[in-house]
Chains A and B, each alone.
Chain A
Amino acid sequence: MATVDTTRGDGVPHGRRVIIIWLVLSAIMTPIAAFVIGPLIPPGNDSVQAMGQVFDNQVLIAFTMPITCFVLVVLGYSLIVFRQRDAAAQGVPIRGHSGIQVWWLVVTTTIVLGLAAFGTYELVKDGAGGGQGPNATFLPAHHNQAMDVQVIAQQWEFTYRYPTAGGIEVPHLYLPANTLIRLHVTSLDVIHSFWAVNLGVKADANPGTDNVAYVETRHPTKINIRCAELCGLWHGYMFDERGHVVSQPAFAAWLKLQQQIYGPVSKVLPPYATTYSPEPPLRAG
């Protein structure tokens, strides 16, 4: 304190040093984050929507990396350089700097608005695999030609109906490759959430509600399905790992086989509808 003019600082260009360290670190870390770490973030490339989400994550992580670097560089530099060396030492009594404040607000607002615009664009493009309620607003191209598949959740399993195949109801989800699918997710009892992990699809299953989600499959693959909303006692067991995306001829063959197996049973089911009200109402309490 005695040797340093506390109001003017110690003459070392701390600010410039920190900016340089930050720029160098960001220049290294941002490409690594965007092109090495980003593509590794699930859900992968099993559907168009999943790939869209991966791209979205790449952009987001590329933007968050300079922010992370900035906070950690300023924090780390301060903790090392400005640690107390003399028990009586005081800091420099600066109470603010209007330039920094304005710049900070401008920069953070710009980043936030930019990312919100980007996210909105990605969402509006095709709905990004999320459930959109009965009247979907974010439609992918050629949504008129989408194939309808219904997902029915109940405690504690998912079943699937194919309205194009006479409304048969089957225990495992099969989808044709390279096809736009319109999933109608509904529930018979409590709230569930249909999560096809590797297809990048999530839609809550609500009783009495038709929750529509679009997904465009790509190549044959397994489908990993989980219930993502706490739905009671056996929630942890409500998953289905036996679904598949198969080639279109294989799908046609599979569908024919299913019609033979489940066709007779499906005749006694209620006719296909977008929602179901089980009778008598399942009530407790």
Chain B
Amino acid sequence: MSWRRLIGFNLLTAILLGIGGYYLGWWLGHQVTGPSLDYFGDTDQNDIALFMGYAFGVIGFLIGMGFLQYPLARLRGYPASLREKESEGIGRYLGLCTDHKVVGLQYLFGVGLFFFIAGLNAMLIRFELLRPTPVFNSGNYLTLVGLHGTMMMGMMTSAVLGPFANYFVPIMIGARRMAFPRIESLTFWLLMAAGGILVTTVFFGGFPTGWTGYEPLNDQANMGMDAYIMFFALVGVSMCLLGLNMLATVITMRAPGMTWSRLPIFVWGVVSTSILNLLAPPVLIAALAMSLMDRTAQTTYYLQSGGGSQYLYENLFWFFGHPEVYILALPGFGILLELLPVFSRKPLWGYRLAVSGMLGVTLLSFLVWQHHLFFSGINSSLRPFYMLSTELISIPTGLTFLCGLMTIWRGSIRFTVPMLFALAWFFNFLVGGLSGFFNSDTPSDTTEHGSFYVMAHFHYTIMGGLIFTFFAAIYYWLPKMTGLELNERLGKIHFWSMFIAFNSTFMPLFAVGLLGQPRRVVTYDPSLQWLNDWVSVSAFVLGLSMLLFLYNLVYSLLFARVRAERNPWGSLSIEWQLPSPVPVQNFDRIPVFENDPYGYGDGAGPVARPVGVPAGGS
């Protein structure tokens, strides 16, 4: 590669402009506030300068990526191409690219990187908890906890929607691209910029609030907190745009014959998640904007001493926060129900019921947020309502169980690696869901709230529900995305080590919590040491199983390089009728759909006609 290719709109330029923008904003911030800092008496920190640094840094980063090219070209009257960097070799992965398949792979590796960093944080947290007396200093430990939680909750919202929905939703509905290809790329690079900003918190002393960022601790914290606020606000923008783009794509760009009742169930999972993605994050952004004002402009939205209320933040945050956890769970439902028919050789059972289950979860998830505030001191007469609404969510969630179980019932089940990961969902989400029933029951929750019990509960639902299906999706779809097979033996070892270590890690934490260990503590009661040690050792094994996956990925994609067949799983879905990897234009002609993709065993045949003859050759 010639050095000349480094010049232009790409990741390198973006990073350089991002750093430049940061220092420009930092300098401007000091110009704005310089003398008045002494007035406020806290010269050790300048939140305004840091916020302006981050904001200008992000703008510089996006300019370097080339996001201004299109609007500027249009302003000057040039027609702009939709096909930026659609066929430029490896370089297109490091820049603004409007090919949804490139964005999908960018997301997979980008989100994977942050999953890895946040996972390392988890390992350090468990290392600290090996013994009841502290190893790290308290502030560093809280920063580790906060980084782990915030990064996982922020970046993993796009763990499925980013890689798999961007890559496969257009193909599944018979489109050549997303509705807004440039916004599609923007969501990814905003997410990466946000992740970079969050990591910089360590240069400013970290932040002590965990992923919830509760006020007034948020206001009290030092400059590391600004990174949290900026991170979550940018993630919110990214999520919102991602949801908008997905909804617009599915609503407007379906091929002929792709009726709503033929939509693959994975796309329904994406649609329901996207509704949440569109509606929940704006509330978070508003809440964080007020946090920002409190920290910089000395307002008192959340400060009781100035006439504000910390309850405002708690309510706004959880009004976003509870849909957020369903943003994490729902794509898992979609992947589960998408994979079960393929590996059971049986149509999806109860399609309409499964769809209504997902939409029911979507609707109800906006009505439950105060169960996070059962003991916070807000009006207690509303408590029975939130107990009821929370427990009602188990009805639509139960429909996913019913449809899943009845799909494998009397099937012909093949235990491939993706199927194993999908089947693990049943066990993990059963434990997660039923333990959640105890949480929703206010009397029982009195003891569980704020303890390791809750931590175990949501790791069962999010890690057990989302991450297991995330890996199922990787093992299932990566051969299509890269054209290369993943090693199956390593995959099976990965599955079993991960499944056993996962349960061995989180099952004892229910007991740890009930026995009186609150979340996010750096020390704990010495009588709980053996349980904590058990958990820590299991967590390290869980970490090793992730390394095994990483080894499999590197080995299979870089060294073994076994070409994948066009349709190794015998799936009827349309993406498997296309060459691997999928050509740039997806189809040479837009397909006409005649069935849903679940016609296993009834001789319905392929899903669409004519099914993509390669456009760019294979």
Measured CB to CB, the residues of A under 8 A from B are: 6, 9, 14, 41-43, 49, 52-53, 56-57, 60, 64, 67-68, 71-72, 74-75, 78-79, 82-86, 89-97, 100-101, 104-105, 108-109, 112, 115-116, 119-120, 122-124, 127-138, 185, 189-191, 193, 195, 197-198, 200-204, 206-211, 213, 224, 226-237, 277-278, 281-285
Q: B392 touches which one: A105, A112, A211 (CB < 8 A)?
A: A112
Q: B375 touches which one: A91, A92, A105, A193 (CB < 8 A)?
A: A193
CB of B551 within 8 A of chain A? no
Cβ-defined contact, A6 with B601, below 8 A: yes
Cβ-defined contact, A93 with B521, below 8 A: no
User: What 1/0 flags go to B481-518 for Cβ under 8 Å of A?
Assistant: 00000000000000000000000000000000011111
User: Which B-chain residue is minimally distant from A128 (CB atoms)?
Assistant: B443
The residues of A that contact B522 with a CB separation of less than 8 Å are: 235-237
Q: Lowest 3 CB-CB distances: which A-B pairs, in order?
A: A91-B346, A228-B450, A91-B411
The residues of A that contact B319 with a CB separation of less than 8 Å are: none
Q: B219 touches which one: A67, A78, A285 (CB < 8 A)?
A: A285
With A and B bound together, what is the CA distance between A146 and B97 in angstroms?
Answer: 68
With A and B bound together, what is the CA distance between A9 and B351 in angstroms?
Answer: 21
The residues of B that contact A83 with a CB separation of less than 8 Å are: 412-413, 415
Cβ-defined contact, B446 with A49, below 8 A: yes
User: With contacts A89-B412, A91-B345, A284-B219 known, is A127 near B380, CB below 8 A?
Assistant: yes
Cβ-defined contact, B523 with A237, below 8 A: yes
5 pairs across A/B with beta carbons < 8 Å? A60-B438, A84-B412, A123-B443, A197-B515, A202-B375
Cβ-defined contact, A82 with B412, below 8 A: yes
User: Which A-chain residue is minimally distant from B216 (CB atoms)?
Assistant: A190
User: With contacts A115-B441, A128-B446, A284-B42 known, is A230 near B377, CB below 8 A?
Assistant: no
Cβ-defined contact, A235 with B142, below 8 A: yes
Question: Size class of B's contact patch?
Answer: 35 or more
Cβ-defined contact, B447 with A74, below 8 A: no
With A and B bound together, what is the CA distance between A84 and B416 in angstroms?
Answer: 11
With A and B bound together, what is the CA distance between A111 and B348 in angstroms?
Answer: 26
User: Which A-chain residue is minimally distant from B343 (CB atoms)?
Assistant: A84
What's the minimum C-beta distance from A274 to chain B, rounded to whole angstroms?
12
Cβ-defined contact, B380 with A138, below 8 A: yes
CB of B349 within 8 A of chain A? yes
* Extra inter-chain contacts (17) besides given A101-B350, A207-B310, A232-B208, CB under 8 Å: A14-B409, A42-B514, A53-B444, A78-B405, A82-B411, A95-B598, A105-B399, A119-B443, A123-B442, A195-B450, A195-B518, A209-B304, A210-B377, A228-B519, A236-B524, A277-B304, A285-B221
The residues of B that contact A43 with a CB separation of less than 8 Å are: 447, 514
User: What 1/0 flags go to B41-78 for Cβ under 8 Å of A?
Assistant: 01000010000000000000000000000000000000
CB of B449 within 8 A of chain A? yes
With A and B bound together, what is the CA distance between A115 and B220 in angstroms?
Answer: 41
The residues of B that contact A281 with a CB separation of less than 8 Å are: 303, 305-306
The residues of B that contact A195 with a CB separation of less than 8 Å are: 450-451, 516, 518
The residues of A that contact B139 with a CB separation of less than 8 Å are: 233
With A and B bound together, what is the CA distance between A84 and B415 in angstroms?
Answer: 8
Cβ-defined contact, A68 with B430, below 8 A: yes
With A and B bound together, what is the CA distance between A132 and B445 in angstroms?
Answer: 14
What's the minimum C-beta distance from A128 to chain B, rounded to whole angstroms?
4
What's the minimum C-beta distance from B557 to chain A, rounded to whole angstroms?
27
Cβ-defined contact, A95 with B410, below 8 A: no
With A and B bound together, what is the CA distance between A199 and B524 in angstroms?
Answer: 19
Cβ-defined contact, B377 with A203, below 8 A: yes
With A and B bound together, what is the CA distance between A49 and B444 in angstroms?
Answer: 10
Cβ-defined contact, B384 with A95, below 8 A: no
With A and B bound together, what is the CA distance between A189 and B208 in angstroms?
Answer: 15
The residues of A that contact B413 with a CB separation of less than 8 Å are: 78-79, 82-84
CB of B84 within 8 A of chain A? no
CB of B82 within 8 A of chain A? no
Cβ-defined contact, B449 with A119, below 8 A: no
User: What 1/0 flags go to B16-43 for Cβ under 8 Å of A?
Assistant: 0000000000000000000000000010
User: What 1/0 flags go to B377-389 for Cβ under 8 Å of A?
Assistant: 1111101100110
User: Which A-chain residue is minimally distant from B374 (CB atoms)?
Assistant: A130
The residues of A that contact B423 with a CB separation of less than 8 Å are: 75, 79
CB of B426 within 8 A of chain A? yes
The residues of B that contact A185 with a CB separation of less than 8 Å are: 377
Cβ-defined contact, B387 with A119, below 8 A: yes
User: With contacts A112-B392, A230-B209, A233-B208 known, is A90 near B304, CB below 8 A?
Assistant: no
User: With contacts A82-B413, A84-B413, A235-B521 known, is A230 near B214, CB below 8 A?
Assistant: yes
With A and B bound together, what is the CA distance between A41 and B423 in angstroms?
Answer: 29
User: Which A-chain residue is minimally distant from B445 (CB atoms)?
Assistant: A130
What's the minimum C-beta distance from A108 to chain B, rounded to whole angstroms?
5
CB of B347 within 8 A of chain A? yes
Interfacial residues of chain B within 394-431, with CB under 8 A of chain A in the complex:
394-395, 398-399, 401-402, 405-406, 408-415, 423, 426-427, 430
Cβ-defined contact, A283 with B405, below 8 A: no
Q: A74 touches which one: B348, B375, B405 (CB < 8 A)?
A: B405
What's the minimum C-beta distance from A45 to chain B, rounded to whole angstroms?
13
Q: A228 touches which one: B47, B222, B449 (CB < 8 A)?
A: B449
The residues of B that contact A233 with a CB separation of less than 8 Å are: 138-139, 142, 208
Cβ-defined contact, B395 with A71, below 8 A: no
CB of B437 within 8 A of chain A? yes
User: With contacts A91-B344, A193-B450, A284-B220 known, is A9 near B380, CB below 8 A?
Assistant: no
With A and B bound together, what is the CA distance between A281 and B216 in angstroms?
Answer: 12
What's the minimum C-beta distance from A280 to chain B, rounded to whole angstroms?
9
User: Which B-chain residue is minimally distant from A211 (CB atoms)?
Assistant: B377
Q: B383 touches which one: A42, A115, A123, A129 (CB < 8 A)?
A: A123
With A and B bound together, what is the CA distance between A230 and B142 in angstroms?
Answer: 9
The residues of B that contact A208 with a CB separation of less than 8 Å are: 304-305
CB of B196 within 8 A of chain A? no
The residues of A that contact B259 with a CB separation of less than 8 Å are: none
The residues of A that contact B351 with a CB separation of less than 8 Å are: 95-96
With A and B bound together, what is the CA distance between A91 and B350 in angstroms?
Answer: 15
CB of B294 within 8 A of chain A? yes
The residues of A that contact B518 with a CB separation of less than 8 Å are: 193, 195, 226-229
User: With contacts A84-B345, A285-B221 known, is A230 near B519, CB below 8 A?
Assistant: yes
CB of B589 within 8 A of chain A? no
The residues of B that contact A201 with a CB separation of less than 8 Å are: 446
With A and B bound together, what is the CA distance between A110 and B405 in angstroms?
Answer: 21
Q: B398 touches which one: A104, A123, A229 (CB < 8 A)?
A: A104
What's the minimum C-beta distance from A27 to chain B, rounded to whole angstroms?
19
Cβ-defined contact, A131 with B377, below 8 A: yes
What's the minimum C-beta distance from B432 to chain A, rounded to whole angstroms?
12
What's the minimum C-beta distance from B311 to chain A, rounded to whole angstroms?
7
CB of B86 within 8 A of chain A? no
Q: B353 touches which one: A72, A86, A93, A96 (CB < 8 A)?
A: A96
CB of B87 within 8 A of chain A? no
CB of B560 within 8 A of chain A? no
Cβ-defined contact, B216 with A100, below 8 A: no
CB of B434 within 8 A of chain A? yes
With A and B bound together, what is the CA distance between A104 and B400 in angstroms?
Answer: 11
Cβ-defined contact, B138 with A236, below 8 A: yes
Cβ-defined contact, B310 with A133, below 8 A: no
The residues of A that contact B381 with a CB separation of less than 8 Å are: 137
With A and B bound together, what is the CA distance between A232 and B143 in angstroms?
Answer: 10
Q: A42 touches which one: B214, B387, B516 (CB < 8 A)?
A: B516
Cβ-defined contact, B379 with A135, below 8 A: yes
CB of B148 within 8 A of chain A? no
Cβ-defined contact, B214 with A191, below 8 A: yes
User: With contacts A131-B377, A203-B377, A230-B217 known, is A60 near B441, CB below 8 A?
Assistant: yes
With A and B bound together, what is the CA distance between A82 and B410 in angstroms?
Answer: 6
CB of B391 within 8 A of chain A? yes
User: With contacts A119-B442, A230-B208 known, is A95 near B380, CB below 8 A?
Assistant: no
